[in-house]
Structure 1
Amino acid sequence: MGLLSFIKDVGEKLFGASEAQAASVDELKKELDKHGLSADGLNIQVDGDKVTVTGEAASTEEAEKITLALGNTVGVASVDNQLTAKQAAPEAQMYTVKKGDNLWKIAEAHYGAGQGAKHTVIFEANKPMLTHPDKIYPGQVLRIPPLN
């Protein structure tokens, strides 16, 4: 997956994080745990506002969700995802939410005109980080999975 950029002054506020620096490794691991994502066997390193994660995830989807859970926190400007996946699958596109966006509009932009109802695919692809389809915010990075 490689390096993914985030807006470091938006996202979940974790203990010890600031707009200048990401939270500690322990706090980032707690964030993964909060979302039901296992940090077991992962190596997470923090260097200022950059987080690097290595190890093996169960799937490509889980590797992407780990990246988003780490990156959508205050103080993180980039996540270098060096994870390998036990079950490889096509990677999702990543999209940074803009002011005025909603999942319907994002689905139409990525899947084509008349495809707004596919917003549920985007919502499901971003669970558990998203708890409601209307709770997205500018600067948040979302997974946009390919349609089957």
Structure 2
Amino acid sequence: MAVKEKYQPVLDLGEQLNIQDGDVTVEGDILKIKGTAKTQYEKNILWDKIKEIGGENPSDIKANIKVADESVYARHIVKKGETLGKIAKHYYGNAAKYQAIFKANTNILKNPDLIYPDQELVIPNL
């Protein structure tokens, strides 16, 4: 299997995430990709997909992924039925870290139990 086809799911994910300044080349048996993700979270998603396909230390892909906004881990649009705990579990793997999200958003949130659909929350770097 050619290396570009092997990592096609990574390239597709890059398009879905709207990675900027993207470039993909093949040199021999190595796929070289570069681009800029909006946030560290999106960069992590790309790396997780690379590792899912190529293993923990893949030798057939070289990725240079930069982050446009390093001041936050992610930005999240609240969906119906979500809580800060659910959002913290999604991004950090730990619902108890909801307080960090609340503290980063006190400009729009007055109570951690009251969030509303379509609010854009900053998910801070921990």
TM over 0.5: no
- Greater CA radius of gyration, 1 or 2? 2
Higher helix share: 2
TM-score (norm 2): 0.43
TM-score (norm 1): 0.37
